[in-house]
Amino acid sequence: RRAQAAEARALPARTRDGHSVSIGANINLADQAAFAIAQGAEGVGLMRTEFLFLERGETPSEEDQYQAYKAMADALQGRPLVIRALDIGGDKQVAHLELPREENPFLGVRGARLLLRRPELLVPQIRALYRAGRDGAPISVMFPMITSAAELLALRETCERIREELQAPKLPLGIMIEVPSAALLAADLAQHADFFSIGTNDLTQYTLAIDRQNPVLAPEADSLHPAVLRLIGLTVQGAHMHGRWVGVCGGLAGDPHGAALLAGLGVDELSMTPRDIPAVKERLRAAELPALQALARQALAAPDAAAVRALADGGEGA
Ligand code: PEP
Ligand code: MG
């Protein structure tokens, strides 16, 4: 039975009528790669790099970062690897960076906003990424908390300058869609981004105006809220209009109901905690795409998250 389960995990997330969704893992350390692959991951859809800054008392050097990215790429043995540039601020504070105190850190200088203001953080990280790419690893770089095309273009410019200095090959440059403005502007942003990955944790927080860490409001911070789903739908449309792929790397991707809806909305890739992969694959392999699309259409028209959950429960065979 155990061998059977392992075999099932290795199968693709392909619906009964042949529609495939790529499955990635959200992991940060190379020594988690073997477990992720055993759970059925086809690559890494989100490597958060904050841990490099959080786990030690100082900023990691370019060389330290290069080693960490290379180790992950090596552990993946040619599988795709999406590495996210530093997303400090908000819930991720780093004492030794001595960032100014803010009244509302979630609405403050975090993610891309911080990278654009602190080249001494951005430049070594981008250099380390291109050095790892120069070794031939299939690395994509992703920027967090993008709210406008201007931010993305400024970051692309820095990347291109560093790439030329290092004479490294191009790497796909993508962005997180995790702020409502980015979802609403997806069709515009897709002209300048090579791919999108939707961060449903922050997208839910910013759409519903619910602090993602507030325990009192946790039951209401449901990513299946139709307002969040509509923003995801817009993002997929905008990406596909320009031939870009779009993934989801927030928590919704690892919820079988969420995964079914996201596939129905046209999402191309789902990236999640390795432990969540088998149930998501099972759900998608039991489904047919037209039924998932019908479920998604109904969900977009639902009044609230509870109604969406009820639909997804009822449409178990979808
Ligand atoms: C998200 O916001 O959904 C996401 C994947 O990023 P993080 O949880 O690291 O903010
Ligand atoms: Mg986020």
ipTM summary value: 0.99
Residue identifier of the C-alpha nearest atom 4 of ligand 1: 199
Query: Strand (E) positions, 139-184?
Result: 139-143, 173-177
Per-residue pLDDT in tens (0 to 9) along the chain, 318 residues = 678 888 889 999 999 999 999 999 999 999 999 999 999 999 999 999 999 988 778 899 999 999 999 999 999 999 999 999 999 987 777 888 888 889 899 999 999 999 999 999 999 999 999 999 998 899 999 999 999 999 999 999 999 999 999 999 999 999 999 999 999 999 999 999 999 999 999 999 999 999 999 999 999 999 999 999 999 999 999 999 999 999 999 999 999 999 999 999 999 999 999 999 999 999 999 999 999 999 999 999 999 999 999 999 886 555
Residue identifier of the C-alpha nearest atom 3 of ligand 1: 199
Q: Sign of dihedral through CA atoms 103, 107, 113, 119?
A: positive
Closest CA to 267 of 287, 300, 309, 296: 296
**pTM for this model (two decimals):** 0.96
Counting from 1 in the atom list of ligand 1, the atom nearest the Cα of 48 is 9
- C-alpha–C-alpha distance, residues 93 and 50, integer Å: 9
Extract the tokens encoding 86: 């530093």
| 201 Cα: distance to centroid of ligand 2 (angstroms) | 6
Are the C-beta atoms of 43 and 24 separated by less than 8 Å?
A: yes
| 212 Cα: distance to centroid of ligand 1 (angstroms) | 10
| 86 Cα: distance to centroid of ligand 2 (angstroms) | 11
Ligand 1 in reach of 273 Cβ (< 6 A): no
- C-alpha–C-alpha distance, residues 232 and 182, integer Å: 10
Closest CA to 41 of 273, 288, 282: 273
- C-alpha–C-alpha distance, residues 13 and 11, integer Å: 7
Counting from 1 in the atom list of ligand 1, the atom nearest the Cα of 26 is 5
